[in-house]
Amino acid sequence: MARSFCVRLDCGACGKPVESEQLHNLSPCCGKPLLARYDLDAAREQVTGTDLSSLFSPVDSLWRYRALLPKVDDANVTSLGEGRTPLLSGRTTAERVGLENIWLKDEGQNPTGTFKARGMSLAVSRARQLGALSLSVPTAGNAGGALAAYAARARLAATVAMPKDAPEANKAEVRAHGAELIEVDGLINDCGALLKERAQTTGAFDVSTLKEPYRLEGKKTMGYELWEHLSGRLPDVIVYPTGGGTGLIGMWKAFDELEALGLIGPERPRMMAVQAEGCAPIVQAFHAGASSAEPWVGAKTMAGGLRVPQAIGDFLILEAVRKSAGGAVAVSDHAIVQAQGAVARDEGLLVAPEAAATLAGLERLIADGKVAHDEETVLFVTGSGLKHLV
């Protein structure tokens, strides 16, 4: 088993440490997300220049970064080959929108078709390591399919609650993997409330976005991969579709860890959060100068993954966006549909609505003078459009 340099969990709000080798949801002190911390000084001793062969393994999945992931015994690693997705040139898109260089990080090539596979691989592996027998998740759709798949792989029971109007493909996926599916007449927060109540009798461990520490650790590997794709540097701008925001927070964490390892300096990409006009609590809070977001009333958008009325990691999203001199922008469903078509025609990628929102957001940012023509920009294609054909 490869060594893990993980040493503890800290409260994401106050920094108070928590014992890592037992199951946790939110921090007991502040009720906020817990963040895994590493002995990066010890890890740095294994790095020579930019040679990471002694630190990162040759495994062709996100488990390549096992030294900088929480400890999981070999027998408990639950993997379907997630991660190591391609960074594709968006040359045609760049020409059309007037930028010199756009990249598309295609997370749709993950197992289950979305970046959710990264987080669930870590969450399920750690839950298994720490003795959980039953898992649950509220979802807009894709996280539920990913939990069902990884729980099946781990031979653990799983319960998924999703809105009744979630894509039928997501429902079929959950059922196919043998998980219990509960359809809720409401939004993802209503699904979470239902599962919290049920857990009092079922004992199922909640792996909701940022309500356990390890989905974040799986998502942060997108930041490591981006650094490797670009041969030891980072882009000028990252445009990210933001519902719960775990991926954005995770990459920001990865960049801090890369700096502590001596692999990059203090410079960071400007982080641009994109939301839908029908559910934009982060955008509203960003422009109001607030440190947290008010719950969005009447959330409505075709991009289910962006229909998150209240993100528990709102303060972490806003902190990353502001520290990076980034921004937050909301786009209409019409703009998302137009962007889906543009990406399909220009780049040959059929992308999910949430992924298309990044292009719609970029076009808005360019029009507003927030992204310059010479800034190297990465759009995160968080999922395949194959689940959204009807």
Same domain, 56 and 157: no
* pLDDT for the residue 46: 85
CA dist 101 and 378 (Å) reads: 9
3-state class (DSSP) for residue 55: coil
CA dist 340 and 350 (Å) reads: 7
Same domain, 315 and 382: yes
Same domain, 122 and 165: yes
Total length of the chain: 390
Sheet with strand 377-381: strands edge to edge: 87-89, 102-106, 377-381, 237-241, 270-276, 327-331
For CA atoms 88, 91, 92, 98, the dihedral sign is positive
Same domain, 192 and 97: no
Walk along the chain (390 residues) in steps of 10 and give the mean pLDDT of each run.
Answer: 89 94 95 96 84 82 96 97 98 98 98 97 98 96 96 98 94 97 94 92 94 97 96 97 97 97 95 98 98 96 94 97 98 98 97 98 97 98 89
3-state class (DSSP) for residue 380: strand
- Residue keyed to tokens 């800034």: 375
Task: Determine, yes or no, domain membership for 49.
Answer: yes
Contact by Cβ (8 Å): 128, 154: yes
* pLDDT for the residue 390: 61
Task: Determine, yes or no, domain membership for 365.
Answer: yes
The residue out of 206, 226, 245 marking a domain boundary is 206
CA dist 215 and 251 (Å) reads: 12
Task: Determine, yes or no, domain membership for 40.
Answer: yes
Same domain, 193 and 302: no
* pLDDT for the residue 1: 61
CA atoms within 13 A on the CB side of 51: 6
* Separation in Å, CA 174 to CA 126, 171, 223: 21, 5, 28
Same domain, 140 and 102: no
Same domain, 155 and 298: no
Parent domain of 274: 87-114+214-388
Task: Determine, yes or no, domain membership for 1.
Answer: no
Sheet strands (E) in the chain: 6-11, 17-18, 34-38, 87-89, 102-106, 134-138, 157-163, 180-184, 205-206, 237-241, 270-276, 327-331, 377-381
Contact by Cβ (8 Å): 341, 311: no
- Residue keyed to tokens 């979630």: 166
* Domain total of the chain: 3
CA dist 47 and 40 (Å) reads: 11
For CA atoms 23, 319, 86, 2, the dihedral sign is negative
Task: Determine, yes or no, domain membership for 224.
Answer: yes
Same domain, 227 and 335: yes
Task: Determine, yes or no, domain membership for 229.
Answer: yes
Sheet strands (E) in 213-269: 237-241
CA dist 230 and 267 (Å) reads: 15
CATH value at residue 196: 3.40.50.1100
Task: Determine, yes or no, domain membership for 374.
Answer: yes
Same domain, 376 and 338: yes
CA dist 259 and 373 (Å) reads: 27
Same domain, 60 and 132: no
Q: Which helix (H) or strand (E) holds 367?
A: helix 353-367
CA dist 320 and 316 (Å) reads: 6
Task: Determine, yes or no, domain membership for 81.
Answer: no
The alpha carbon of 333 is separated from its chain's Cα centroid by a whole number of angstroms, namely 21
Sheet with strand 134-138: strands edge to edge: 180-184, 157-163, 134-138, 205-206
Same domain, 24 and 104: no
Same domain, 71 and 110: no
Mode of pairing for the β-strands spanning 157-163 and 180-184: parallel
Contact by Cβ (8 Å): 307, 357: no
